[in-house]
Amino acid sequence: MLRKTLARMTLGTAALAFSLGAWASSPSTIKIGTLYAGSGNFAQASTRQYDGLKFWAKQINAEGGLFVKAYGKRIPVQLVAYNDQSSTTLAASLYNRLITQDQVNILVADYGSVLTSVAIPLALEHHIVLFDETGTSGKFFKPEDKNRYIVLTGLPTSSQWPKVLANFLHTVGSKRIAILYAANDWSGSQAETLKTSLKALGANVVFYESVPNSTSSYSTILHRIAASKPEVVAEFGYSNNDIAFLQNYESSGLYFPMVFVPNPALHYEVVRKAVGDQAIRHVFSYVAPPLIRYNKEVNYGPTLDAFEAAYAKSGGKNVDLSTVAGYNTGLIVQKTLATSATFTQEAMRNAVDTFSGKIFTLDGLFQVNHEGAQTGESLPVGQVLPTPHGLQLLPVFPLKSAVAKYVYPTPGK
């Protein structure tokens, strides 16, 4: 009996020591490593995305930090961020620094597919989960790569975006569609998906060409498109492409019954101010938060209205999709650490799968597939329409998302 009693005491002491040791070994901060572009082509969108992430970190630290299930307590967040100046070469070096020198616990990508692309092989090599905010290239999520170290948080993959658009064009009876795209994966994947979807629906793609990303004059190609007599012209490119295209179209004297460009969904005010109200009136685009507003559906984190109010109170300005995406990434990190049973990268990635499809944030339904591609969110079709508050990009399709009636064909110039 004495031996049994001593054994119980020994086991109890060991368990207590293990418990105290696990508590003591918890990090003093959760280091979240990320990059932002303080200059260069991606500066505006990237800094706004970083502002959203910083605001989330400020809020979570005001509450005492992140609740980390693996340690059973809240731990403050420390953002470790570097300026990559919109350079993939510099970004690759800085991502490597975050992983190998700073030894961050969480890795968050910079804005967009270009600056995310160089992080993916590093995250895979070092077996650290990359929380991908807005890098939507379908090439990042190929099943044959067997890469479990990436999670897309803010947008669906770009190859999925045009499916609603194709259904809309089918619904309104458009049969002759011209597709022009800038030669990059983000634009090209949208163009290819739209072409494939339209052909499956019986439409005729009468024009299909690419242009260099640096294209700033579309005058000649606009007349070539017009010669194909399209009912719809869809141009896919970065903001600079959309802006040049709309400016040239406005001054060309040409008329197309429908014009679609993607970037008003992402940076509406930037595009509108650059091209002017006349050039953007009646243009079609996607619609993404905050232009489409999720409030009643939200079951994790603040509603969009509550977020905007708190952000404005803190001095934040210019909320757009980038800001929402940055903040939303923080929410996904927060849920991951509150769910993961152990503080390991594998456990964190597995934790994501357990709440995928179950939480609805200010950015929409969070749901990822086995490869980490976002499949829950969708982008309705919208149109820039006059309202009592000026021109606004409003959802017009599908009907469950619509808040306005589309105008098609659009009025002639």
Residues 206 and 352 in one domain: no
Range of the domain at 320: 30-155+293-366
pLDDT higher than 90, residue 159: no
Residues 148 and 167 in one domain: no
Residues 349 and 302 in one domain: yes
pLDDT tens string 234-258? 999 999 999 999 999 999 999 999 9
User: Quick one: average pLDDT of 198-211?
Assistant: 97
Beta pairing class for 30-36 and 106-108: parallel
Name the percent of the chain lying above pLDDT 70. Answer: 94
| Claim: this prediction has a pTM higher than 0.75 | yes
pLDDT higher than 80, residue 413: no
Residues 97 and 59 in one domain: yes
Residues 39 and 150 in one domain: yes
What is the SS3 assignment for 149? Answer: coil
Q: How confident is the model at residue 184 (pLDDT cuts 50, 70, 90)?
A: confident
In-domain check, residue 10: no
Q: How confident is the model at residue 4 (pLDDT cuts 50, 70, 90)?
A: very low
Domain harbouring 326, CATH code: 3.40.50.2300
Whether residue 259 contacts residue 284, with contact meaning beta carbons closer than 8 Å, is answered with: yes
Q: How confident is the model at residue 15 (pLDDT cuts 50, 70, 90)?
A: very low
Q: Which two tokens stand for residue 245?
A: 């295209």
The rounded distance, in Å, linking the Cα atoms of 75 and 240 is: 42
Q: How confident is the model at residue 22 (pLDDT cuts 50, 70, 90)?
A: very low
Residues 168 and 267 in one domain: yes
User: Quick one: average pLDDT of 290-308?
Assistant: 94
What residues pair up with 17 in beta bridges, in sequence order? none
Top pLDDT among 17 and 248 is at 248
pLDDT higher than 50, residue 24: no
Candidate from 106-110, 177-181, 210-214, 335-339 with smallest mean pLDDT? 210-214
Distances in whole angstroms, Cα of residue 235 to Cα of each of 111, 182, 261: 22, 8, 5
Whether residue 107 contacts residue 130, with contact meaning beta carbons closer than 8 Å, is answered with: yes
H/E segment holding residue 209: strand 204-211
pLDDT tens string 40-79? 989 989 999 999 999 999 999 999 999 999 999 999 999 9
pLDDT tens string 332-384? 999 999 999 999 999 999 999 999 999 999 999 999 999 999 998 889 999 99
Residues 252 and 387 in one domain: yes
In-domain check, residue 186: yes
Name the percent of the chain lying above pLDDT 90. Answer: 85
Residues 84 and 97 in one domain: yes
| Mean pLDDT, rounded, of the chain | 92
Indicate the angle between helix axes 345-355 and 321-339, nearest 10 degrees: 110
Q: Is 220 exposed, middle or buried (0-12, 13-18, 19+ CB in 10 A)?
A: exposed
Q: How many CB atoms lie within 10 A of CB 402?
A: 17
Whether residue 134 contacts residue 325, with contact meaning beta carbons closer than 8 Å, is answered with: yes
Residues 34 and 147 in one domain: yes
Residues 172 and 278 in one domain: yes
In-domain check, residue 147: yes
Whether residue 235 contacts residue 165, with contact meaning beta carbons closer than 8 Å, is answered with: no
The rounded distance, in Å, linking the Cα atoms of 125 and 281 is: 48
What's the pLDDT at 108? 98
Indicate the angle between helix axes 185-200 and 162-172, nearest 10 degrees: 40
Instruction: With CA atoms as reference, report the closest residue to 294 among 395, 392, 357, 364.
Output: 364
Residues 56 and 93 in one domain: yes
User: Quick one: average pLDDT of 299-325?
Assistant: 95
159 Cβ contact list (under 8 Å, min separation 6): 138, 189, 190, 192, 193
Instruction: With CA atoms as reference, report the closest residue to 63 among 360, 338, 364, 348.
Output: 338
Give, in degrees to the nearest 5, the angle at Cα 344 between 328 and 365.
25
